[in-house]
Amino acid sequence: MARLFPYNHQSTTRFIITIVLILTSIQQVIAQAQPLDSVMNILNRNDIAQLREIVKNHDVNDLNKSDQALYFLATGGIKCAIDDFENAYKDLQKAKNHSDDKRVIFMANDYMMELSNSASELQVAPESLMIENLSIATELNDPTLLIKSKFYFMFKEIQLGNYAQAQDICYEMRNISIENDLKQELIDTEFNLGTLHYYQAQNDSALFYYQKNLADVIAKKDTFDIAVRLNNLAMLQMAIGKNQAAVDNLIEAKELIKNKNDKELSVGLLRNIADAQTAAGNYKEAIDYYNQFISEEDSLERSDIAQNLKELQTKYETAEKDLENAELTAKNLTSKNKIYLLLFILACISGIGAYLFNRMRQKQKLLAAQAEAQKQREEKLLRDQELAGIDAMITGQEKERKKIAQDLHDDIGSSLTTARMCIENVIGKSNQVENKKILENAYDLLNDTYTKVRNISHAQKSSVLSSHGLIGTLEQLASRINAGKSIQVEVIHHGLQGNLSNSMELGLFRIIQELLNNTIKHAEAQNASIILTGYEDHVSIMVEDDGNGFIPENLNNNGTGLDSINTRVQNLDGTMEIDTKLKRGTTINIEIPLV
């Protein structure tokens, strides 16, 4: 992102001229509503001021669906320009949702991919957006859009270090540019080709494209592009040992942009010149450029802070009013000493205002951090209480089940046994056939009742995991699944000492049981493994299968119930990671802390 310098208070004349120009421009702005169908052309020109006028003169609630799409496209572009990445991304998604126009969708996707790449140097744009834009460009048969869409595939390979693959894509872009006589696209693509050859130490090819590209931009007389090309050519010249030529090119580039408002490029050139002077053995000159670089870099950092403050200072109206009043007062002053005094007062007001605003912002950050920490403590306390309640409930249920089982066995079971023995004794002594038959029927009924009571007693004595514990129950579960012949499951464990609580064992069993159910129902796998490892402070679970796999982005639509499993994991303060690819199986890693 280009970075701007703050105002230099040492230049009185520049300050007065700047204030006059700002106020004059504000007085001359006339708000005129412009049609929304011009938004895409304005975005291509990157005219943010004109976009603001269009947005200001339209109410999104009064627009039809297609115009709402253009409205949100405009607001997304404006927020991109001020690095409001998150809100820009949301507006661009709204533009997509409101539009049936392929070109509007393409432009919204293009901005969202640019935002993803700008958020971090290591960030790669979402592949779904890349694929969608490539599909739109192909459907519209638009070579310019096709080159734009292929650029992000090339950029992705560069981020991954796959320079050869990126180079292949770049050659495809070059061929499209040549076939469709797209001159600017060809210039940009060949510049990228030179850089890709440079990354791969293919210096001859890099030199060819850099020199050709430099000639192209010189013909266009674009001083900024010339400076950028001279900088990259100098980097290549340093790589091949032509250090003095690199120095000359970098100094020429610095001279070309001396009147340009691009401090980032200017500071970068100072650093590169210093490095090139050092490589050429010009140590005195190198020291001078290093000192300039350090000075400019400090200013650049300060300008970043000032710019951020300016963007955040939306309610700081008092200072703006003071500046307007001061400017009007300055026009009426005839004494040079009074002008200097007024400027000094303005500088003090600005400094005090900035200081107070910074103090207020730091206080707000501190309060927000304290509130967040308190919220996290409260959430942890609630989770701990919930887990303690679950553990107590399970323990109580187990005790109650055992008590019922004992009562059934000791009281009712004993009574039924005694009654059965009495009837059995009477049957043996009865001589009347009819009475004997009645007793036998009674005996059979009593015996059935005894068997049912005994079964209930045994069932109540058994907990969910029975007497075998977690590992034994899992092995029994695996045996039952393996008996079906459709999938083979193995259980591997290490380091579990059997010191887990009832609630922990039950929670782990339910998680693994649901994962196996998902595998059986959805994966079409031949084999699956359950690997449990116990550590001092946590338990690790890994469930693997060789099934179909799935696309992680489609988790909400695939009906696998992973949200339910993830909720169980979170209730145990655990974490879950999913590694899966279509046709390559699935591995799910879960870690549960022992606290």
Best-predicted range by mean pLDDT among 65-79, 358-372, 427-441, 464-478?
65-79
What CATH number was assigned to the domain covering residues 468-593? 3.30.565.10
Whole-number pLDDT of residue 98: 87
For residues 265 and 259, give the distance between their C-alpha atoms in angstroms, rounded to a whole number.
12
CA angle 246, 247, 250 (to 5 degrees): 85
Average pLDDT, the chain: 76
Mean pLDDT of 457-480: 70
Could you tell me what percent of the chain has a pLDDT over 70?
A: 71
For residues 339 and 82, give the distance between their C-alpha atoms in angstroms, rounded to a whole number.
35
pLDDT tens digit string along 196-230? 988 898 988 888 888 888 888 888 888 888 888 89
For residues 496 and 469, give the distance between their C-alpha atoms in angstroms, rounded to a whole number.
11
pLDDT range class, residue 403, cuts 50, 70, 90 = low
pLDDT range class, residue 383, cuts 50, 70, 90 = low
Decide if pLDDT at 4 tops 60. Answer: no
Name which of 83-87, 441-445, 533-537, 554-558 the model is least confident about.
554-558
For the chain, the structural domain boundaries read 31-114, 395-461, 468-593
Whole-number pLDDT of residue 591: 94
Decide if pLDDT at 77 tops 50. Answer: yes
Q: Which residues contact 23 (CB under 8 A, 6 or more apart)?
A: 324, 327
Decide if pLDDT at 530 tops 90. Answer: yes
Mean pLDDT of 303-319: 39
pLDDT tens digit string along 246-285? 899 999 988 888 877 777 788 888 889 988 888 888 888 8
For residues 421 and 526, give the distance between their C-alpha atoms in angstroms, rounded to a whole number.
54
Whole-number pLDDT of residue 324: 54
Decide if pLDDT at 15 tops 60. Answer: no
Whole-number pLDDT of residue 2: 27
Whole-number pLDDT of residue 119: 58
φ/ψ (deg, to 5) at 499: -105, 25
CA 160 vs CA 121, 153, 154, 156, 165: distances in Å: 11, 11, 10, 6, 10
Sign of CA dihedral 101, 107, 112, 116: positive
Name which of 142-156, 157-171, 305-319 the model is least confident about.
305-319
pTM of the prediction? 0.43
pLDDT tens digit string along 16-56? 333 333 333 333 333 344 567 788 888 877 788 888 888 88
Q: Given 1.10.287, 3.10.20, 1.25.40, 3.30.70, which CATH number is that of 31-114?
A: 1.25.40
